[in-house]
Amino acid sequence: MLEWHPAMKRVYFDNNATTPVDPEVLQAMLPYFCEIYGNASSIHSTGQKARSGVEKAREQVAALLGARANEVTFTSGGTESDNLAIQGIVAAAEGEKKHVIAAKIEHSAVRNTCEALAERGVDVTFVPSGGDGVINPDDVRNALRPETVLICIMHANNELGTVQPVEEIGRIAAEADVWFHTDAVQSAGKIPVDVEKIGCDSLAISGHKIYAPKGVGALYLRKGTRTQPILFGGHHERDRRPGTENVAGIVALGHACEMARTKLEAESERLSALRNRFEQGIVAAVPHARVNGQNAPRTPNTANITIPFIEGEAMVIALDLRGLSCSTGAACSSGAVAPSPVLTAIGMQPAEARATLRFSLGKFTTSEDVDFALRLIPGVAEQLRELSPLYKKPVAV
Ligand code: PLP
C-alpha cells in the first residue's frame, strides 16, 4: 500500500485531541494582536477596547452554558479550569477532614488533580464505571460521607464520548449539600450544556476542542460557590484568576462558543449520521470489530472501536502513513505503554484496550472523509492482524 504524500488526501479523525481553528474564529481574533492590543486592565481607550472584547466573549461563553456572564472566569484551558475548580473549592471548604468523589474515567486533568489532593491528606473515592462507559449515580450516592465536600463527574468522556447522568448527580449533590464540578471539555459545543439543568456549581471548558486556539479556556462558577484562587498575582477575573488576560484567545473562545451555539442541533445531527455510518461500515468490513459505549448516550462525533488482534499504536502509525489521523486512548497518554485507564475502568483486558482506537469527527469532516476511512481501515487492519500469531482468518463457508 502507498505511503501518504502531500498531494494525497488527508483526513483528520482526532478532533477530541484538538480541533483546527475555524477561519471565522481566526478572523474574529486577529485584530486583537496588532490593532486592539491593549491590556484589558488599562483605563485608556486602547485598554478599554480590549476590555470590551473580553466582556463580549464572556457573554458569548455564558450563552452557550446557560450561565450569567459574571459567573465565567477565563483560564488557560481545560486543565487549569479543572484545577481551579477542584483545588479552589476543596481549599475553601471547611473541615479538618475533607472527602472528594470523582469518577475512575475522568480525564487526567481531574484524576491527577484528585490524586495530588490525596497526597495532601484529602480522602478521594474514585467511583467505577459500567462496561458501557457510564457511571451509576447510586455509586456516587453511596460514596457520600459526612465529610464529603466535592463531587467531580465529567459530562462527556473524552475517549468513549459517553455522556454521564450529570443531572441526576447534580440532584444528589444538592440534596447532600456538596459542591458539584463537571468537566464539560468534550461536551460543550457538541451537545446541549445547561448549568441550570445540570445543577453544577462549576464547569470546565476548553477553547481548542471547539475550534478556538490552544491555551484558552473558561470556568463557570455558580454565584455563591466558595472557592480560593490557585495562582496569586493581580486582581484580574474578579480575583479568581490573576494574570493579564489572553485577549485574542478569549475573543476567539467567545466567537467559537457563539458559532457552536447557533449550529448545535444541525451539526449534531449531521455528525451523528456520519459517525454511525462510519461505525456500521467498520463493523461490517472488519471481522470481530466492536463499538464501545454504543448503546449509551454519546456525543455525536466519537467512535471508540476495538479491533481485536491489532496493536493500536501500530494501527495509528499505519493509518497516519496512509493519510488518516486517529488515536489510541487519550491523546495526552499516547506513547505511554500502559493501556488507557478509561478502557481498563470499563472492564477491558489490557490486550483489548491496546487494540482500541478512537476516531473523533469534527465540523470539517465530510461524507467523503468517511468513505476514505472506510476504504482504508479494513485493509490496514487485515495487514496488521496477519502479524498476530493469535489471529485466525475467518474461513468463508
Ligand atoms: N478534560 C477533558 C475531558 C479533556 O478531553 C481534556 C483534553 O483532552 C482536558 C480536560 C484538558 O483540556 P486542555 O487541553 O485545554 O488543558
What is the per-residue pLDDT for 5? Answer: 65
Percent of the chain with pLDDT over 70: 95
Of ligand 1's listed atoms, the one at least distance from the Cα of 215 is 15
CB distance 61 to ligand 1 below 6 Å: no
Residue of 107, 181, 190, 202 to mutate, ligand 1, most atoms within 8 A of C-beta: 107
Cβ distance 302 to 272 under 8 Å? Answer: no
pLDDT in tens, 252-279: 999 999 999 999 999 999 999 999 999 9
- Has residue 329 got a pLDDT over 80? no
pTM, rounded to two decimals: 0.96
- Has residue 332 got a pLDDT over 50? no
Which residue lies with its CA nearest to atom 8 of ligand 1?
17
| Residue-by-residue DSSP string for 318-351 | HHHHTTEE-BSS-GGGTT-SSPPHHHHHTT--HH
For residue 166, give the 3-state DSSP assignment.
helix
Kind of pairing between the strands at 217-221 and 202-206: antiparallel
What is the per-residue pLDDT for 330? Answer: 46
Higher pLDDT, residue 131 or 5: 131
Cα–Cα dist 285/266, whole Å: 29
Burial 168-203 (b: 16+ CB within 10 A, else e): bbbbbbeebebbbbbbbbbbbbbbebebeebbbbbb
Strand partners, 14: 360
Sketch out the chain's domains with CATH numbers: 11-20+263-385 (3.90.1150.10), 23-259 (3.40.640.10)
Rounded distance from Cα 375 to ligand 1 centre (Å): 31
| Residue-by-residue DSSP string for 185-196 | TTTTTTS---HH
CB distance 365 to ligand 1 below 6 Å: no
What are the helix (H) ranges across 216-290?
Answer: 236-239, 247-285
What is the per-residue pLDDT for 345? Answer: 95
What is the per-residue pLDDT for 174? Answer: 98
Q: Which residues does 12 contact at the CB level (< 8 Å), separation at least 6?
A: 20, 325, 362, 364, 365
Which residue lies with its CA nearest to atom 10 of ligand 1?
78
Residue of 209, 219, 304 to mutate, ligand 1, most atoms within 8 A of C-beta: 209
Cα–Cα dist 156/212, whole Å: 19
Q: Catalytic residue positions?
A: 332
Q: Say how many Å lie between the first and final Cα of the chain, rounded.
A: 28
CB distance 342 to ligand 1 below 6 Å: no
Q: What is the mean pLDDT of residues 237-246?
A: 97
Percent of the chain with pLDDT over 90: 92
Strand partners, 162: 298
Rounded distance from Cα 186 to ligand 1 centre (Å): 8
Q: Which residue in this structure is represented by grid cell 473523533?
A: 360
Of ligand 1's listed atoms, the one at least distance from the Cα of 207 is 15
Cα–Cα dist 299/157, whole Å: 9
pLDDT in tens, 194-209: 999 999 999 999 999 9
**Could you give phi then psi for residue 5, rounded to 5 degrees?**
-135, 165
Cα–Cα dist 328/312, whole Å: 6
Rounded distance from Cα 255 to ligand 1 centre (Å): 19
What is the per-residue pLDDT for 335? Answer: 53
CB distance 88 to ligand 1 below 6 Å: no
CB distance 339 to ligand 1 below 6 Å: no
Confidence of residue 158 (pLDDT cuts 50, 70, 90): very high
Q: What is the mean pLDDT of residues 302-309?
A: 97
Cα–Cα dist 201/52, whole Å: 26
Q: What is the mean pLDDT of residues 48-55?
A: 98
What is the per-residue pLDDT for 9? Answer: 77
Rounded distance from Cα 189 to ligand 1 centre (Å): 14
Cβ distance 23 to 255 under 8 Å? Answer: no
Cα–Cα dist 168/199, whole Å: 9
pLDDT in tens, 104-138: 999 999 999 999 999 999 999 999 999 999 999 99
CB distance 83 to ligand 1 below 6 Å: no
Of 147-156, 311-320, 332-341, the poorest mean pLDDT is in 332-341
Of ligand 1's listed atoms, the one at least distance from the Cα of 80 is 16
Which residue lies with its CA nearest to atom 13 of ligand 1?
78
Establish how many alpha carbons lie within 13 A of residue 30's alpha carbon, considering only the half-sphere containing its beta carbon. 7
Confidence of residue 391 (pLDDT cuts 50, 70, 90): confident
CB distance 77 to ligand 1 below 6 Å: yes
Burial 347-374 (b: 16+ CB within 10 A, else e): ebeeebbbbbbbbbbbbebeeebbebbb
- Has residue 384 got a pLDDT over 90? yes
Of ligand 1's listed atoms, the one at least distance from the Cα of 214 is 15
Of 39-43, 298-302, 326-330, 361-365, the poorest mean pLDDT is in 326-330
pLDDT averaged over every residue in the chain = 95
CB distance 19 to ligand 1 below 6 Å: no
For residue 389, give the 3-state DSSP assignment.
coil
What is the per-residue pLDDT for 393? Answer: 74
> DSSP secondary-structure letter at 307?
-
- Has residue 83 got a pLDDT over 70? yes
Cα–Cα dist 132/347, whole Å: 9
